[in-house]
Structure formats: structure tokens, C-alpha cells
């Protein structure tokens, strides 16, 4: 019988998976600061006053990375993503420094997709060019709307003119650009929604992320809900958004993601296909696979606490470490994979979890009976109804 640390392709002892091969690895870097906290935002972002502590942040990030290297030693990185907060608050020199660190500690191939999120309100042409020279080859712009009234209601620091200028700067700097846009905004009409989407499409970027505004509990909008479109109107907006994007040559490959051919976000695809990711920075989460187990980690959430703890070098900045059970693995895999319009091969479940499809067969049969999941084990894919009621489908697999 093989030992506990040997790859068997079968569940390991005590229900742990045995992986034949490790999945692709992504790196996520969290930049926690922003100029202004938007009332709908529930991300780990913090308004900063005064001068950004860029030097201390970079020192802590280097310490965080150095302590993480043993968990990912020798593995090739497939994508890098700077998220926030507002990563475009960092100087181009800072981004160059971070990427140099990654190249020094990790196996970062020259064709690696490197994305940086940017706020149009902090966009500068020279800074975008500097990001590109550092190695960034994809910029994701948080446009949200081109309508100045809507932007004020959302608490954004930019206006429509700045959004248009930022798109031009980004397209001039890097080969791949994504635009984030939101709909079902406070008091938004169908005509206003359509106007926003048509304008976003007019720039011809390779990728669009089109999100329904959600009133999250721990936000200003969650506590003081603004008047938003009724459910029927919001559903109509979602259908119309999809129609317009698909008619313009974009494929809706994920619930909120639309791409021209070969322009899909590889970083997010790795998440949805249950790949691995190393999260660095305050509040960042990691999912890391080993031959006989799959683990999750979380860093200290508050920037100051993370910087102080990471600098100690004793691992105290990682405040959560846990091993996923077989039941957790089945649910988490399906939670991600079912977001993809074309689903995934059934074999990917076995490859990424080390479990047999039999472990989720009862839940799959139940979902098929409810008309939410396509029948068969060769491909795991939501039906049209299942995609419409995705939360209901995902909950079928909740242990």
C-alpha cells in the first residue's frame, strides 16, 4: 500500500485526496488602500489619509512572499493579479519591484498573464506606461458607469470623461483591457443601462465584466439601501446586457464575464477550474494543493496588523490555516465550476480534488432531477434553468 505522502489519484487516508498532478498556480496580490470607500464595496479596502506607506507595504510583501515560498517551491506561476482596493495607487516603480520579487522567488514565465486593477480616478498615462514596462500586460478598469449621475450615486471618485480617458490610456499601454461595468444601479432606467453597455462595447476591448449591483450586508448600501430597480426590471436589464454583448461578438463564458475569442481572463478561469492560488497582502486568501491534502489560508485583514506580523518572519500574519475535507472539496469545486457557461470535463473533478465522481453522484442526480444540471458524468454543466438559478444549483452540493 502506498504511503500517505504518495500520489495515488485516489482519496488519501482519513478522506484526504491523493493528487496525481498539482493544478496550475496563480498569485494574487492585495493592495488594500483606496482614495474613497464606495458605499456598495464589501472588499477589504481602506481609505488612506496622507501619504501611502508604499515602502513599508513592499517590505511586508517581500517578507510575506519569502515565508510562503516553501509551500509553492518549484511550481510554475500561470497568472498574477494585483487587486484591491486600488492597485493603481502604487507607483510604477513599486509594481516593478513586486514583479522583480516574484521573478526572484518563483518560476514566472515570460508569457504569464499579469493583470492590474485600476481606478479611472487615479489613471495617468505615464503611470500606465510604467506598469506595462514593469511587465503588466492586462489592465482591468473599474468604470462601473459612464453616466455622471450614476457615478455620483455610487460614490465613485471619477466622472464619465475620466473613464473614457482612462480606457484610451490603458488600451495604449497594454494589449489586453477589461472594463468593469455595473447595472441595476440606484434609480437606473433600462435606457440608461443600455446606454452604458453600448458605450462600453464601443471601445472594442477584449473583455467586459458586467455585474448586477448587489447590496451587501456590511456596506453603507446594505445598511441604508438606495432605491434600486425592481426585480423584474433588474432581470430584464441582465437579459438585455447579455443580448447586447453577445450581439457585439462577445461570448458570455462565465456568469458576469464576456470575452472576445482568446481574451478570457486566465486568472479567473484558474479560480473557476479549482486551480491553486497564493494570496499575498492583507486579507488575501490562498488555496494550495499538495499530494495528499488541499489547504486554505487567510492573512491578517487589517493593513497595519498584516505589515507588522509579516515583518516578524514567524508566520503570524497567516491567521487561518485549514485542510479541506472530502465534503468541502466537492462543494467548493462545484461552487466554482458551475459558474462557467460550458462547465468542465468530469475528469477535472477527479484531477483537481483527488476524489471519485461517486462522492458527489447523489447530489448530481438530485440536480439533474430538478432540471438544473445536464445529465451524464462526462461533463459537469448547468442547464439553462440551472444557470438562471445558479445559487439554487450550487446549494444542492452543500455538505
pLDDT in tens, 77-135: 999 999 999 999 999 999 999 999 999 999 999 999 999 999 998 888 899 999 999 99
Tens of pLDDT along 286-308?
999 999 999 999 999 999 999 99
User: Does the pLDDT at position 1 exceed 50?
Assistant: no
Q: How do residues 327-384 score in pLDDT, each as one tens digit?
A: 999 999 999 999 999 999 999 999 999 999 999 999 999 999 999 999 999 999 999 9
Interacting residues of 172 by C-beta distance below 8 A, sequence separation 6+: 125, 128, 129
Mean of pLDDT values over 154-162: 94
pLDDT of residue 49: 81
**Cell numbers placing 280:** 499575498
pLDDT of residue 17: 56
Helix (H) or strand (E) holding 365, with range, is: helix 361-369
Model confidence at 275: pLDDT above 80: yes
Q: How far apart are CA 133 and CA 105, in angstroms?
A: 20
For residue 93, count other CB atoms closer than 10 A to its CB: 12
pLDDT at 12: 41
The whole-number pLDDT of residue 45 equals 93
Q: What secondary structure does DSSP assign to 168-234, as a single string?
A: HHHHHH-SEEEEEEEES-TT--HHHHHHHHHHHHHT--SEEEEEE----TTSHHHHS------HHHH
Does the pLDDT of residue 3 top 80, yes or no? no
Task: Report which of residues 7 and 320 the model is more confident about.
Answer: 320
pLDDT score at 123: 81
Average confidence score pLDDT of the chain:
93
Least confident of 14-23, 80-89, 130-139, 238-247: 14-23
Asked if residues 69 and 25 have their Cβ atoms less than 8 Å apart, the reply is no
Q: Residue 365's pLDDT is what?
A: 97
3-state DSSP assignment of residue 312 = helix
CATH numbers and ranges of domains, the chain: 13-270 (3.20.20.70), 326-399 (1.10.10.920)
Determine the Cα–Cα distance for residues 36 and 386; give it in Å rounded to an integer. 37
Task: Give residue-wise pLDDT tens across range 45-75.
Answer: 999 888 999 999 999 999 999 999 999 999 9
Amino acid at each position: 500500500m502506498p504511503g500517505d505522502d504518495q500520489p495515488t489519484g485516489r482519496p488519501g487516508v482519513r478522506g484526504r485526496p491523493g493528487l496525481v498532478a498539482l493544478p496550475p498556480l496563480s498569485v494574487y496580490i492585495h493592495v488594500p488602500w483606496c482614495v474613497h470607500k464606495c458605499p456598495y464595496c464589501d472588499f477589504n479596502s481602506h481609505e488612506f489619509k496622507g501619504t501611502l506607506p508604499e515602502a513599508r507595504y513592499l517590505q511586508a510583501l517581500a517578507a510575506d512572499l519569502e515565508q510562503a515560498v516553501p509551500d509553492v517551491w518549484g511550481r510554475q506561476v500561470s497568472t498574477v493579479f494585483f487587486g484591491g482596493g486600488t492597485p493603481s495607487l502604487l507607483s510604477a516603480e513599486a509594481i516593478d519591484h513586486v514583479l522583480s520579487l516574484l521573478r526572484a522567488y518563483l518560476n514566472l514565465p515570460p508569457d504569464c498573464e499579469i493583470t492590474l486593477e485600476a481606478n479611472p480616478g487615479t489613471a495617468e498615462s505615464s503611470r500606465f506606461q510604467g506598469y506595462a514596462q514593469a511587465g503588466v500586460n492586462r489592465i482591468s478598469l473599474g468604470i462601473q458607469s459612464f453616466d455622471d449621475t450614476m457615478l455620483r450615486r455610487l460614490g465613485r471618485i471619477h466622472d464619465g470623461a475620466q473613464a473614457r480617458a482612462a480606457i484610451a490610456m490603458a488600451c495604449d499601454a497594454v494589449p489586453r483591457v477589461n472594463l468593469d461595468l455595473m447595472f441595476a444601479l440606484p434609480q437606473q432606467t433600462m435606457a440608461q443601462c443600455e446606454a452604458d453597455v453600448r458605450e462600453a462595447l464601443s471601445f472594442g476591448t477584449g473583455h467586459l465584466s458586467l455585474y448586477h449591483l448587489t447590496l451587501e450586508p456590511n456596506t453603507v448600501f446594505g445598511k441604508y439601501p438606495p432605491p434600486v430597480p425592481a426585480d423584474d426590471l433588474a432581470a430584464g436589464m441582465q437579459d438585455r446586457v447579455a443580448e447586447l454583448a453577445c450581439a457585439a461578438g462577445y461570448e458570455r463564458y462565465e456568469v458576469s464575464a464576456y470575452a472576445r475569442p482568446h481574451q478570457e481572463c486566465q486568472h479567473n478561469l484558474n479560480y473557476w477550474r479549482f486551480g491553486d492560488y497564493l494570496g499575498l497582502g492583507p486579507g488575501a486568501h490562498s488555496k494550495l494543493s499538495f499530494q495528499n491534502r488541499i489547504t486554505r489560508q487567510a492573512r491578517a485583514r487589517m493593513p497595519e496588523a498584516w505589515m507588522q506580523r509579516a515583518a516578524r518572519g514567524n508566520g503570524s500574519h497567516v491567521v487561518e490555516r485549514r485542510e479541506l475535507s472530502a465534503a468541502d472539496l466537492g462543494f467548493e469545486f462545484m461552487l466554482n465550476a458551475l459558474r462557467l457557461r460550458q462547465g468542465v470535463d468530469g475528469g477535472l473533478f477527479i484531477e483537481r480534488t483527488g476524489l471519485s465522481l461517486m462522492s458527489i453522484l447523489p447530489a448530481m442526480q438530485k440536480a439533474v432531477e430538478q432540471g438544473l444540471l445536464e445529465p451524464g458524468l462526462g461533463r459537469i454543466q448547468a442547464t439553462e434553468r440551472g444557470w438562471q438559478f445558479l445559487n439554487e444549483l450550487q446549494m444542492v452540493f452543500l455538505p
